[in-house]
Structure 1
Amino acid sequence: MRFTAAAPALPALRPAVQAARVVRHSAAIAFADMRAVYTWKVWIFGWLGRMLAQVTFFTLLARTTGSEEHTAYIAVGNSVMTCALECMSVVASTTWERLSGTLVLLCAVPARPVWVFFGRSLQWPISGSGTSLIALLFLAPLFGVSWHPGQVPALVVLVPLTALTTYCFGLFLAAFVLNANGVRNIVSNVAYLLMMILCGVNIPVSQWPPAVQAVADILPLTHSLHAIRLVSDGAGASRVLGAAGLALLCGAGWLLGAYVAFNRFMARARGLGSADLF
């Protein structure tokens, strides 16, 4: 009797499909966290109210010291900044795996850790996109920003792009904070404040020295915010797409950096037999 090797029960999944499955399952945890932290009332009257108050504060401050054009500039910049602020929460929420005792288990699984952590905090760019769109479309017009109906679809695309690319930057920082849990809030706050200063939120990037502009150019927010400002100014599609493409390129670069950093963390943890590297 002849025997032949049995075919595998399931075909081997391509890496992209495997990554998507890991992100989908880890995102389920993110949304569970979101439901535990916020009810719709808490989100609207707590978080959203706080962010709109922040935008209003900086815009009113600009109104007392600048022209109407400058006031509108500040209103747009700080409305977009709200999603970047929320996306920096990934730095803290990534460390929740250590606090909950599951980081050691993640070191034992074959999945690439970057996809686990990418999905783990996806609630932040989703929530941040909603906050920023509300601020842009409903609050900013009170300060002289006008949107034509044809510009709204571009905003609906560019704001989530801003959130996701900034989220990738935050994910890169989170890979290092896994070993320094006590500074997670310091790192996220410093990163947020640096973006607020350098990326054209309140001060045009062109006003900084070339060395500072070079730092701003590697941050996705610089380019995605520029794309949104181009939409506000009625610029052509080619210029908007060019700025958005640069934001996407920067975000991909930071995601690649996070991929390498998480892999090295896990490889070292497996080599030492412990996720407590310090």
Structure 2
Amino acid sequence: MHFIRVFQAGTLNAFADFAATYTVRTWTFAWLGRIIAQVVFFTLIGTLLGSPEQQRFLLVGAAVMAIVGEVLFACASSTWERRAGTLPLLVASPGSLLAVFAGRSIQWVPSSLATSSVCLLCVGPLFGVTWSVPSALLLVVVLFVTAATTYCFALVPGAAVLNAMDLRNIVANVIGALITAFCGAVVPVSFWPSWIGWAVNALPVTHGLRAVRELASGGFDVLPHLGYAVLTAAIWLVVAGWLLRRLAERGRRDGTIEFGD
């Protein structure tokens, strides 16, 4: 219960930051508009190739990658506590740092869910990716699981950059680019050497993307993919907790957790 209360407090902080960052108008016409343009850009590559199949493949991949790009904002928002000078107080408190930081950037999960859902449900039919009512409803569930599990992974680089805050955007961009290249968004995973396939199977978004592609093809066998996504997310969440605990232990020992910049 204590973990949940701390998580809820972090969540309130996260949505307060989100409200200070976006209005309904700026989120809709600036952020969402930008992502829709990005998805359409990748989709048009398939159109130029003269392949409706490639067009649909790229649209689904780009729409799911919108989740990755947004939840990786956790790399930046995790550092806000250190920049605000509150990290020493969090380390000194009896609460769990994982609970704090898991709630601290949670705003990116519903935002990315909304972004990806609009791209797939509204833009998708314009390029041949259509949905029945059952598949559309299940799609929202699959995208939520994909966003939540990918967020668990994003907490790991978020925890890592607390000791290298100037690298927060570089780390997020590099990780996002690697995931886009290798996890099956722009080319099938089988295109790459087998060891890359093994590596990307450790990422929740790989399995979430497969579940979305299953729905886009008219199937409904998504539970195995979602199960793997949840399993890998749980492992990454443990890693994030370990990194935060190490940060706190080292900070208490050598005084490297300062107030402010």
How far apart in 1 are the matches of 2:32 and 2:230? 26
Among 173, 178, 193, the alignment partner of 2:177 is 193
Distance 1:248 1:112, change over 3 A: same
Alpha-carbon RMSD across the aligned residues, in angstroms, is 1.0
For structure 1, the 5+ residue unaligned runs are: 1-16
The match for 1:219 is 203
SS of the residue 1:178 aligns to: helix
How far apart in 2 are the matches of 1:139 and 1:133? 9
How far apart in 1 are the matches of 2:227 and 2:69? 22
Deviation digits for residues 42-97 of structure 1 (CA, Å, limit 9, x no counterpart) = 00000000000000111112210141011011111111111111000000110011
Which structure has the bigger radius of gyration?
A: 1
Among 248, 255, 259, the alignment partner of 2:241 is 259
8 Å contact 2:76–2:168 — kept in the other structure? Answer: yes
Instruction: Describe how 1:224-263 pairs up with structure 2 within 5 A.
Output: 224-237=208-221, 240-263=222-245
8 Å contact 2:71–2:154 — kept in the other structure? Answer: yes
Mapped pair 1:84 → 2:68: yes
SS of the residue 1:147 aligns to: coil
8 Å contact 2:135–2:220 — kept in the other structure? Answer: no
Deviation for aligned residue 1:236: 4.2
SS of the residue 1:187 aligns to: helix
Query: Which fold has the larger relative contact order, with Cα–Cα distance below 8 Å and residues 6 or more apart in sequence?
Result: 2
8 Å contact 1:84–1:162 — kept in the other structure? Answer: no
> What TM-score does the superposition give when structure 2 sets the normalisation length?
0.97
How far apart in 1 are the matches of 2:133 and 2:94? 47
Moved over 6 A (4+): none
8 Å contact 2:207–2:229 — kept in the other structure? Answer: yes
Q: Percent identity?
A: 43
Among 10, 18, 33, the alignment partner of 2:2 is 18
Mapped pair 1:171 → 2:155: yes
Mapped pair 1:103 → 2:87: yes
Number of aligned residue pairs: 258
8 Å contact 1:58–1:74 — kept in the other structure? Answer: yes
How far apart in 1 are the matches of 2:246 and 2:79? 16
> What TM-score does the superposition give when structure 1 sets the normalisation length?
0.91
SS of the residue 1:252 aligns to: helix
For structure 2, the 5+ residue unaligned runs are: none
How far apart in 2 are the matches of 1:74 and 1:144? 12
Mapped pair 1:207 → 2:167: no
